[in-house]
Structure 1
Amino acid sequence: MKNRRLFWQIVDQIEEQIDAGAYPVGSRLPPERVLAETFSVSRPTIREAIIALEVRGRVEVKTSSGVYVLESGKDQKDGPSISAFELTQARALVEGEAAALAASIITDEELERLQQTLLQMDSGNNPEQADKEFHNIISSATRNNALQLTIAGLWAQRESNKDIQAAYKGVCSQSDAERLREHTSIYQALKNRDSQGARSAMHAHFNRLINSLFEASEAKALEEVRRKTSQTRDLYSLNHLVKS
Structure 2
Amino acid sequence: MIVVGYANRWKIIMNAVVTPQKRLYQKIGQGLKDRIVSGEFVVGDRLPPEREIAVQCQVSRSVVREALIMLELQDVVEVRKGSGVYIINQPKEDIDAKTGTSESDDAGPFEMLQARQLLESHIAEFAATQVTRNDIFRLRKALQMERQQIEGASFDYDGDKMFHMAIAEATQNKVLVDMVEDLWVRRQNSSMWLQLHARIVNQNYRKAWLEDHEKILLALQHRDASAARDAMWQHLENVKQTLLELSDVDDPLFDGFLFSNNPVVSLA
- Shift in CA distance, 95/171, structure 1 to aligned 2, threshold 3 Å: farther
Contact 1:84–1:168 (8 Å) recurs in 2 = no
Whether 1:82 aligns to 2:107 is yes
**Structure 2 alignment gaps of length 5 or more:** 1-97, 253-268
2:220 to 190, 193, 199: 190
The question of whether the paired residues in 2 share the 8 Å contact of 1:106 and 1:190 is answered with yes
Which amino acid in 2 is paired with 1:208?
A: N
When residues 109 and 187 of structure 1 are mapped into structure 2, their CA distance, relative to the original with a 3 A threshold, is same
Aligned-residue offset at 1:108:
0.4
The percentage of aligned residue pairs carrying the same residue is 28
Match of 1:157 among 156, 171, 186: 186
- Kindly provide the amino acid, as one letter, of the partner of residue 137 in structure 1: A
2: distance between equivalents of 1:180 and 1:145? 26
Equivalent position of 2:146 in the other structure: 121
Which structure 1 residue ranges, 4+ long, deviate > 6 Å from structure 2?
none
- Give the direction of change, closer, same or farther, for the CA distance of 1:75–1:195 in structure 2 (3 Å limit): farther
Q: CA deviation at 1:95?
A: 0.8
Q: Distance in 1 between matches of 2:185 and 2:101?
A: 15
Question: 2:205–2:242: 8 Å Cα contact kept in structure 1?
Answer: no
Q: Greater relative contact order (Cα 8 A, min sep 6): structure 1 or 2?
A: 2
Task: Report the equivalent of 2:42.
Answer: none
Summarize deviations over 1:94-143 as a string: whole Å, max 9, x none: 11111111111111011011112222222335562111100111111112
How many residue pairs match? The answer is 150
Q: For the structure 1 residues 91 and 106, does the alpha-carbon distance in structure 2 shift closer, same or farther, using more than 3 Å as the test?
A: same
Please give the TM-score of this superposition, normalised by the length of structure 1. Answer: 0.55
User: Contact 1:171/1:212 (CA < 8 Å) preserved in 2?
Assistant: no
Aligned partners of 1:101 and 1:142 also within 8 Å: yes
Are the aligned partners of 1:171 and 1:209 in contact in 2 as well (CA < 8 Å)?
no
For the 8 Å contact 2:216–2:232, the answer to whether it is kept is: yes
Query: 1:167: which partner in 2?
Result: 196
Q: Give the secondary structure class of the aligned counterpart of 1:81.
A: coil
Distance 2:105 2:201 in 1: 24
Report Cα offsets for 1:127-176 as digits up to 9, x if no partner: 62111100111111112222112111110111001211232462883312
1:131 aligns with 2:160: yes
Structure with higher Rg: it is: 1
- Check 1:172–1:160 CA distance in 2 against 1; reply closer, same or farther (3 A cut): farther
* TM-score normalised to structure 2 length: 0.51
Residue 104 of structure 1: SS of its match in structure 2? helix
What CA deviation, in whole Å up to 9, does each residue of 1:23-76 have, x standing for no partner?
xxxxxxxxxxxxxxxxxxxxxxxxxxxxxxxxxxxxxxxxxxxxxxxxx93769
- Which of the residues 205, 227, 234 maps onto 1:204? 234
**What is the CA RMSD across the aligned residues, in angstroms?**
2.5
Query: Superposition pairs for residues 55-94 of structure 1, below 5 Å?
Result: 73=99, 80-94=105-119
